[in-house]
Structure 1
């Protein structure tokens, strides 16, 4: 199955040694040279023989702009797909490649009767929060502390751990999530880089809560590691506390300028 991403680009399964080599190179470009969890060519090949999806977004010149890797199995007693990796080349980000790769997965899975997909993402990365929650309409299931260990072997996670949000995408639903629950209240940036959660008080109504994240966690980590750790600690505590009280995440609001933003959480009346 091949689909167009932007004429005449194409998304297709990885097939050749060159495809697998490009995928491995993009893994290292994204998560660091010598990345301990790098998936080798042999597994990229075998995964496709047992219902997995390993596909790349290719440009007209044959170069790989992004790739996706996932496995199909059983979760909660039902067939499900776990999208383990998705990466987009740095110079092709924010151009819809990630969304196109997810849609490719969805279309292939629905043809096989699988209608649920799961994956994880770092809650401190605004770009991914916007894609997963606002553009695709995925639903957050849980917050997991250091899902992949301390992360010291990867430049992306080193120093701040591998906390992740687990999301579920119901593939038969419309992509865009509703805006109504995300309305109300504002998020104010904190010039000194501190992290905050805010609540909009409403009499007789559920209270929307906002969990703010920084504009660029990687840039902050490289310049001020201590502040990055404060963001991780504060957001970890907020997510675990509010999700534990029955709140659910209903969207992500980008801050002015499109960098950073806030998760919006609410809960039904008791």
Structure 2
């Protein structure tokens, strides 16, 4: 039986410090991009979101943080951090935190949110696209440059910029448990950046075909790949970057994400609009 959690704004000094501690727990003690208590506190005063999920004992088990501003003349939100503590994951708490964030932003008159994630992180891709209907709209090579620490070690900090249209019906459907149709409709479409070698998908520089719909493969677990072979991880980065930039620059959009659990393979679905 799933635990009961309360989601609400961070209020006290102790809660702000719990949030900082959870940042370290999630991303490592050498994580240099942590948000300090003072910023967590003032963010809420100017339309931002700094909210936590608390268990029955009042312990923080997750949080969401973001700042609000103006882009092209309209109010927008940049969702900077989302974390759920080990031990309470796979209970839908991440989606609940994002749904809470969405409700707060809509109350503030904000209808679009952005954030970034590593395109090679299959878990994040599945969560963003299939659980939230938040879609990558831009691929930025090495967005943050060299960032010290184990989290980013060995790879360039390529990122997808995600756009979340808060009032779109597909967002409401995804939050209710219905993933985008494109995530299930691309079987048989060409896979453009890998080939099978003894049954294992290997990134390869292939000729990128002209097609209305394509799939770009990423590893099931890039962190495991990094541990086993940093050169293999770098190859995944290079080939995935090339394929995504090629198609997105030609009008394709990421509209789905597939996970083949039995084959241990994962694919972005890109469709020309």
TM-score by length of 1: 0.87
2:160 maps to: 165
Q: Aligned-pair distance for 1:257?
A: 4.4
Is residue 179 from structure 1 mapped to residue 175 from structure 2 by the alignment?
no
Is residue 232 from structure 1 mapped to residue 227 from structure 2 by the alignment?
no
1:253 maps to: 258
1:126 maps to: 122
Distance 1:131 1:259, change over 3 A: farther
What is the CA deviation profile of residues 22-67 of structure 1, one whole-angstrom value per residue up to 9, with x for unaligned ones? 1111111222213111111111111111111001111112222211
| RMSD of Structure 2 on Structure 1 (CA) | 2.5
Q: Are the equivalent residues in 2 in contact too, given 1:138–1:167 (CA < 8 A)? A: yes
Is residue 145 from structure 1 mapped to residue 141 from structure 2 by the alignment?
yes
Task: Give the SS at the match of 1:91.
Answer: coil
Give the 5 Å matches for 1:63-142. Answer: 63-142=59-138
Q: Aligned-pair distance for 1:140?
A: 1.6
Q: Aligned-pair distance for 1:70?
A: 0.5
Is residue 211 from structure 1 mapped to residue 216 from structure 2 by the alignment?
yes
Gaps of 5+ in 2: none
Task: Give the SS at the match of 2:137.
Answer: strand
CA distance in 2, matches of 1:198, 1:106: 40
Q: Are the equivalent residues in 1 in contact too, given 2:203–2:239 (CA < 8 A)? A: yes
Q: Aligned-pair distance for 1:158?
A: 1.1
Q: Aligned-pair distance for 1:169?
A: 0.7
Deviation larger for 251-260 or 70-79: 251-260
Distance 1:259 1:81, change over 3 A: farther
1:30 maps to: 26
CA distance in 1, matches of 2:219, 2:106: 36
CA distance in 2, matches of 1:223, 1:134: 28
Deviation larger for 172-181 or 97-106: 172-181
TM-score by length of 2: 0.86
Gaps of 5+ in 1: 1-5
CA distance in 2, matches of 1:133, 1:198: 26
